[in-house]
């Protein structure tokens, strides 16, 4: 291949240290996406996503929303790479920093569960008052923030009988979580919620004896499991 009319001032003697930009500068959020899976699939960080999409609210993403995933460019520059040896040249591998030295925006996303609220643990999973209690209860004042225990998509947000005001979040592996007895709901069905983002405020709606959060983790088939198996140990 022959290059003609090459501006010598733009010639590089060294290989670039970053990979070429993505083929497409935009991408849509798909069904089943979480914020972490979307970022991983397109090789971008939260900081980059926010800088390329001014005004973007990470707690208000929806399925089908189109986002900028590459920096907008006013034009293309011609790059000529001089082979260092016979057979051509290759993109160099960038050395990765040890995890402890990486900025938070470059660290792998946390995929485990976190506690969904703060308060007093009042009831565990298992048989209670002659019936199966399929979650755990955490009591606190009405209005205490409740957060998503894990990245996911809101599959239900509204009133559901004994649960009162309920938020249900579907996760990428088929599991889903339920947050019941809320006084106020802060998310809508179809909304993508990152781990730790506020989804509701604690209350005592539905069948409840006082302000608390009833929290459940369900398997892909719908069977309930003990949330304490998934949650990290609580600090004293």
Q: What is the pLDDT of residues 5-63, one digit of tens each?
A: 555 555 555 555 554 444 457 888 888 888 888 888 888 888 888 888 888 888 788 88
**Would you say residue 169 has pLDDT above 90?**
yes
**Would you say residue 176 has pLDDT above 70?**
yes
Please report which confidence band the pLDDT of residue 144 belongs to, taking 50, 70 and 90 as the band edges. very high
Q: Using CA atoms, how far apart are residues 137 and 211, in angstroms rounded to an integer?
A: 10
* Structure confidence by residue, pLDDT tens digits, 193-227: 999 999 999 999 999 989 999 999 999 989 999 99
Q: What is residue 13's predicted lDDT score, i.e. its pLDDT?
A: 56
Q: How far, in Å, are 83, 95, 106 from residue 48 at the CA level?
A: 32, 20, 10
Other beta carbons less than 10 A from residue 138's beta carbon: 21
- What phi-psi label fits residue 133: left (phi over 0), alpha (psi between -120 and 50 degrees) or beta? beta
Give the length of the chain. 236
Which residues make Cβ contacts (< 8 Å) with residue 89, sequence separation at least 6?
15, 81, 82, 83
What percentage of the chain has pLDDT greater than the value 70? 71
Sign, CA torsion 37/42/43/49: negative
Does the pTM surpass 0.75? The reply is no
């Amino acid at each position: 291949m022959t290059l003609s009319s090459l501006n010598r001032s733009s010639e590089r003697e060294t290989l670039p240290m970053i990979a070429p930009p993505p083929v497409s500068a935009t991408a849509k959020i798909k069904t089943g996406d979480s914020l972490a899976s979307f970022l991983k699939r397109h090789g971008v960080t939260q900081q980059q996503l926010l800088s390329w999409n001014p005004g973007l609210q990470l707690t208000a993403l929806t399925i089908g929303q189109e986002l900028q995933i590459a920096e907008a460019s006013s034009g293309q520059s011609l790059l000529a790479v001089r082979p260092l040896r016979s057979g051509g040249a290759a993109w160099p591998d960038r050395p990765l920093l040890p995890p402890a030295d990486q900025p938070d925006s470059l660290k792998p996303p946390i995929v485990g569960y976190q506690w969904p609220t703060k308060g007093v643990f009042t009831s565990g999973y298992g048989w209670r008052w002659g019936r199966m209690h399929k979650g755990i209860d955490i009591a606190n004042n009405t209005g205490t923030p409740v957060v998503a225990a894990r990245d996911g998509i809101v599959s239900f947000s509204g009133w559901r009988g004994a649960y009162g005001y309920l938020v249900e979040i579907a996760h990428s592996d088929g599991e889903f979580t339920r947050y019941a007895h809320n006084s106020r709901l802060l998310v809508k069905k179809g909304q993508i919620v990152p781990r730790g983002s506020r989804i509701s405020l604690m209350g005592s709606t539905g069948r409840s004896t006082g302000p608390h959060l009833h929290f459940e983790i369900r398997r892909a088939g719908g069977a309930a499991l003990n949330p304490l198996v998934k949650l990290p140990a609580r600090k004293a």
